[in-house]
Amino acid sequence: MSQHFLLSKAARSLSIARVARLSDEEAHDAFRLIRWTATEGEPVCPRCQCGATYKYETRKLWKCKACTHQFSVTSGTIFASRKMPIRDILLAIAIFVNGAKGHSALQLSRDLDCQYKTAFVLAHKIREALADEMADETVSGEVEVDGAYFGGYAKPANWKENRLDRRLAENQTGKRRVVVIMRERGGRTLPFVFKAESQSIHTIAERVEKGRVIHADEAAHWDVLHTRYLTKRINHQESYSDGEACTNMAESFFSRLRRAEIGTHHHISGRHLGAYASEMAWREDHRRVSNGEQYLMATNAALIHPVSRQWKGYWQRGNIRV
Ligand SMILES: [Zn+2]
């Protein structure tokens, strides 16, 4: 029997110990090379894209000869205004990509010996950068569509006589959301968050190319997909695959997201559900890529991603709840 990819040596090309041992200078050089790959690490002005710069030797800053803009290796990226040393950011990314079911902010704060709030925002910045990869993507070929509900847990009362029927809408919290996934076999995984599965039809029409094959379950709201796609349905009451239709690739994604919810984060709030779903889609799509490559891809994604509107100064804007 051939060896599973994840057990092979090729799957392990990143050593956290090696990243942790980087000097400030080496970490800075690593960042520079990843950010400015095209110029082999030579700085390019983020404001006017000019390659001619003056260098401030002592402060690790450059000044653009054309527009006089001063910038550092993280200026204009998702890590702008950072206080954390670059080595610790690289370490955070290395730890983050190694977590098959995600990595909790609390654990990251212990790994890096930083505040919980710092780790929380840092992990979300990495998620935001990864999600960018699929921002305008469409899927084609054979696409599996399915939904699964997350969040909005209503705790049952202690005494039986006080318990409510949690299946009724009036006894629910209203925070429950559904993640709808469009997963191309052998291709990308695109997750979206809705209040109800039936609200996803418009987004499916935008993201799945017309005339393609869609696999979906027996839920009635998928019936309209037949007008636009060659739709194959599988009745989950009877089987998970009948040789024609199956949504097992979509289920694999939900399995990973569910494990992240239960095993890593313990709770995923509705407003961040999209971010965690995108993270898990990224992990699914790159599960056969070595962790060293994942680390480079994630670092590169973060360094080409502009300053985060959502996460820059998150705690300074009075967000006290996570
Ligand atoms: Zn410039």
- What are the CA-CA distances from residue 155 to residues 196, 255, 257, 269, 270 (Å)? 21, 23, 21, 15, 17
Full domain range(s) for residue 256: 142-286
153 Cα: distance to centroid of ligand 1 (angstroms): 51
165, 277: one domain: yes
63 Cα: distance to centroid of ligand 1 (angstroms): 8
151, 276: one domain: yes
| Domain annotation covers residue 3 | no
90 Cα: distance to centroid of ligand 1 (angstroms): 26
Q: What is the pLDDT of residues 26-79, one digit of tens each?
A: 999 998 898 998 899 999 999 999 989 999 888 889 999 999 999 999 998 989
Residue 294 pLDDT greater than 70, yes or no: yes
Site of tokens 């009745």: 235
76 Cα: distance to centroid of ligand 1 (angstroms): 12
Q: Are strands 177-184 and 61-64 parallel, antiparallel or unpaired?
A: unpaired
Distance CA 132, CA 84 (A): 23
> Taking residues 6-18, what's their average pLDDT?
85
216 Cα: distance to centroid of ligand 1 (angstroms): 51
194, 108: one domain: no
CATH of the domain at 168: 3.30.420
- What are the CA-CA distances from residue 53 to residues 36, 48, 77 (Å)? 14, 11, 18
Query: Is 87 exposed, middle or buried, given 0-12, 13-18 or 19+ CB atoms closer than 10 A?
Result: buried
| Domain annotation covers residue 308 | no
317 Cα: distance to centroid of ligand 1 (angstroms): 30
Query: According to the model, what pLDDT value does residue 147 have?
Result: 96
CA torsion sign for 258, 263, 267, 269 is negative
45, 167: one domain: no
268, 245: one domain: yes
26 Cα: distance to centroid of ligand 1 (angstroms): 25
97, 59: one domain: yes
| Domain annotation covers residue 294 | no
| Domain annotation covers residue 204 | yes
70 Cα: distance to centroid of ligand 1 (angstroms): 8
24, 52: one domain: yes
- Assigned token pair, 147: 């939904």
Write the DSSP string, 8-24.
Answer: SGGG----HHHHHT--H
65 Cα: distance to centroid of ligand 1 (angstroms): 7
42 Cα: distance to centroid of ligand 1 (angstroms): 14
| Domain annotation covers residue 167 | yes
Give the bridge partners for 217, in sequence order.
Answer: 234
DSSP H helices in 36-85? none
| Selection from 232, 280, 228, 226 nearest residue 253 by Cα | 280
Total structural domains within the chain: 2
98, 177: one domain: no
152, 258: one domain: yes
48 Cα: distance to centroid of ligand 1 (angstroms): 4
- Taking phi first (over 0 means left), then psi (-120 to 50 degrees means alpha), and beta for anything else, what does residue 266 get? left
Give the chain's mean pLDDT: 91
275, 184: one domain: yes
| Domain annotation covers residue 234 | yes
Q: How confident is the model at residue 247 (pLDDT cuts 50, 70, 90)?
A: very high
129 Cα: distance to centroid of ligand 1 (angstroms): 24
